[in-house]
Amino acid sequence: MTTALKTTKRIQAIDVMRGITMAWMILVNNPGSRNVFAPLRHAAWNGLTPTDLAFPFFMFIMGVSMCFSLRKYEGNRKAANIKIFRRAVLIYVIGVALGCVGKLINGTFTFEGIRILGVLQRLAIVYLFGALLYQYVPKKWHLPLAAVILVVYITILQCFGGYVYSPENIVARIDVGLLGASHIIGENGEGGRFPFEPEGILSTLPCLAHILFGAFVGRLIMNMEDDREKVRRIAVFGAVLLFAGFLLQWLDPINKKLWTSTFVLVTCGSASLLLALLLELLDVNGKGRGLDFFKVFGTNALFAYILSSLMGIPLGRLGIHDFLMRSVLEPAFGLKGGALAYSLLYILLIWIILNPLYKKKIYIRL
């Protein structure tokens, strides 16, 4: 006999997984220097590194969490839509603003150089359309719809030169045509540097599958009573997605910058397996107290990301970064070890700032 998870309360596994993901994002986004270990770099093109898992994991867990946040609006779609649009616009605006802050301080800001898309901007867009799909598409069609989206995206890439590493890539051409080259970051191909947006317009399409897959898992957590069966189904679901992703990579290479369909399958499969493990450990068996460290990030994840994006500015301008790297960390741990040590200290700094909020159960909502 099992005791059903209390879905009226916070599910520990969701907070911990979100926190692990956010801590990992902060670590890889804030190295002490460019001399980092290979697993802390994104794959140059095709392939997958541990670093490539952070962003899609966060997007997946956003789909899981969305089930709980929208549940209170059942029967009141107008109120739900207001919340969805407000949150999406706020996240998008903050994303654009974060990209401008550093340039404003350094005196290099121009309106022509504003990056229209980016990490938070993609989260905002995917949340907006994913939440609307979740509300208006019958639940039984969510997984088939996700499959259709991934098949359509594979077809587009196959038929219109979507895998070439050059300006002729369909993903790059759409972004340049609609956004303008000055609003896009670049890639260094064989023919020289060319505009390429890793959070581009077309490559945002398959991200909707992350929300739909995450929502499917979220509904399993909410609606199933048997905890063991719940964990088993999530684990099986994750294993199927993971296997399918690796099986199909001969047709559709795993590629984060293109956000290929196999990338979606592999990362959502991996995320499901991790969540199943955490559910079993934390919410079913009541163990894993050592993972409480990550709840500090998980309960205020977006605020943690924003804070981590801004904290580097004063550390740099006050000379703290250079002092730590040149006088302490690199002499003690070497170039790559020093860069990693700085990232870990950076995570600890953000945790120290957020911990009082966690203890007082203050959750900053966007």
Residue 2: its pLDDT value, please?
A: 41
Q: What is the mean pLDDT of the chain?
A: 91
Residue 5 clears pLDDT 70, i.e. is over it: no
Domain boundaries, the chain: 12-359
Query: Is the pLDDT score of 281 beyond 70?
Result: yes
Give the dihedral sign, CA 220/221/226/230.
positive
Overall average pLDDT of the 244-253 stretch: 96
Q: What is the pLDDT of residues 193-215, one digit of tens each?
A: 788 999 999 999 999 999 999 99
Higher pLDDT, 68 or 187: 68
pLDDT at residue 285, rounded to an integer: 85
Model pLDDT for residues 290-332, shown as the tens digit of each residue? 899 999 999 999 999 999 999 999 999 899 999 999 999 999 9
Q: What's the rounded Cα separation, in Å, for the pair 139 and 130?
A: 13
Q: What local confidence, expressed as pLDDT, does residue 3 receive?
A: 43
- pLDDT category at 270 given cuts 50, 70, 90 is very high
pLDDT reading at 192 higher than 70:
no
Angular region, 288: left φ>0, alpha ψ -120 to 50, beta rest: left
Q: Decide which of 104 and 336 is more confident.
A: 336
Contact 231, 21 (CB under 8 A): no
φ and ψ at residue 159, rounded to 5 degrees: -90, -20
pTM for this structure? 0.93
The string of pLDDT tens digits covering residues 69-108 is 888 887 788 999 999 999 999 999 999 999 888 778 777 7
